[in-house]
Structure 1
Amino acid sequence: MFSLRIISLAAVLLGSIMVNAAPAVTAHHVEPGNLYVAKPAHFEPQHPGDSGPSGHRNHPVVALSHPDANGYVPVAVVSHNHPEHMGRTQNAQHFDEHTHAAGHGGFETGSRMATARPVHVHVDDLHHVNTESGLPARLHHEDTHNLKEAVYQASGKDFNNPRHRTPTPPWRQHQ
């Protein structure tokens, strides 16, 4: 029969395949209103304390636009306890009214959206929201509009990066 060592190795290999099977976030799939999670240590601009212990825990973020040419996505951060450097925050449930009403999930009571200081996260550092978290994968278009308007009012920044074309796969280039 198989030794315990071989069975353990097989279990570890299967587990690593299962973890890596989750689809990656790719730049051409990022749309305004999509929800992701990201670590504050990956926020740009970097703020004091973002690289400390709380900087390594994922926080929900909402994409405000498509990625720029360098792959950075402007996002609004959702948290229960924003540090002072994030500036003015608003009740996050104000930005999920239509999404929640449509049965697509919503933000927890007490969650706040940092509208005054949006940050950027590289697309490689964004991760999909866990389906069991109760968070929506995407905000309703009205909620997205309301969030973008609130960010503009609080920060004076309007994010409208153009969608970058996805390269044609090599197997379709000569058809």
Structure 2
Amino acid sequence: TRITILETLSTLPHLQTLNVSKNLLSNADALRELTQCTSLSSVDLSHNSLDGEEVIDVLAEVPNLVSTNMVGNAVANIPQFRKKMISRIRRLGYMDRPVFEGERLAAEAWAVGGREAEIEARENFRAAQRKKEQDERRAFREWKQQKIEEHRLRWEAQAQAQ
């Protein structure tokens, strides 16, 4: 038997992970019970029949959701689905694949200011990453030079002591 609606899950207060892949869940109402699962952090909804923007609304209400798998659902074909999910569920760290910081910042910018804001956020993130890498390389070079100088001074002190 395949599941068509999620029920009574709220009676499991310690439920953290739920795999309901390959069932017949079709819309937001079929998922509404998830909003009552306060400990739920990971849910696999892949290969169901989920469709409709309301699915995003319901998943955004799951209090501690950090990971979900949505592959094989019609909802994934909604334009900008991934961006909508990432911007609505700020703690989401995995949705079919990892959600990295740059993607999150871009999705949140897109949700507020559209495509131009997304592009600007991506450029700003890349520039910040480049600066961070340059700073780390410079700090390493300085550290390395300091260690070389310390070694040289030790060697000279030992040579003078003999």
**TM-score normalized with structure 2 length:** 0.24
Which is richer in strand? 1
Q: Which has the larger radius of gyration?
A: 2
Asked which structure has the greater RCO (Cα within 8 Å, sep 6+), the reply is 1
**TM-score normalized with structure 1 length:** 0.23
Which is richer in helix? 2
